[in-house]
Amino acid sequence: MRLSLLCFGLHACSLFLEPFAINGENEMTTAGYALGGIFWASLLAGTVLFEICRRNLSGDAGYREWKQKKVPGIFGFFRTKAARIVDPILLLSMVITIVNNLTGNIPEGLLLVVLAVMVFTFYLHMMVNGRVYRYMTLSERKEKKSENKEN
């Protein structure tokens, strides 16, 4: 799961190469090709790694039963402690992006930062509000409680 998160972070950071993708003559630069490679490779790697994590967890009978009752993470907000941090940042970055689209007053450099934050927090939103993360944190809490009772 952490490797998936790292790949999604790299995917979001690839947006910072965007100003270097095209030269003054409107031709693709080496940085532009690198941007495309990093963008797609990190997105694919993050998705595949998360799917591996999900498949490993789906073999657990407790997860299969628990999953039936839960709504996918993209539709939920503020479901976990981590989501209470990530979701407001996502919403704020969306608002800033919308304001820029309406007014065009935000400098390009700042807008790239906001877009990268928005992309990364969108991935985080889906992960930390999702069934896999919630089940993993629930399982960790149960393990800690059982360890404390034994001691």
- Tens digit of each residue's pLDDT, the chain (151 residues): 889 999 999 999 988 888 888 888 888 888 889 889 999 999 999 999 999 988 888 877 777 776 666 677 778 888 889 999 999 999 999 999 999 999 988 898 899 999 999 999 999 998 988 888 888 887 776 776 667 776 5
Report d(CA 33, CA 92) in Å as an integer.
31
Report d(CA 99, CA 21) in Å as an integer.
25
Nearest alpha carbon to residue 85 among 131, 128, 116: 128
Query: What pLDDT sits at residue 25?
Result: 85
Considering the entire predicted model, what is its pTM? 0.79
Report d(CA 109, CA 115) in Å as an integer.
10
- Around Cβ 32, how many Cβ atoms within 10 Å? 16
What letter represents residue 14's amino acid?
S
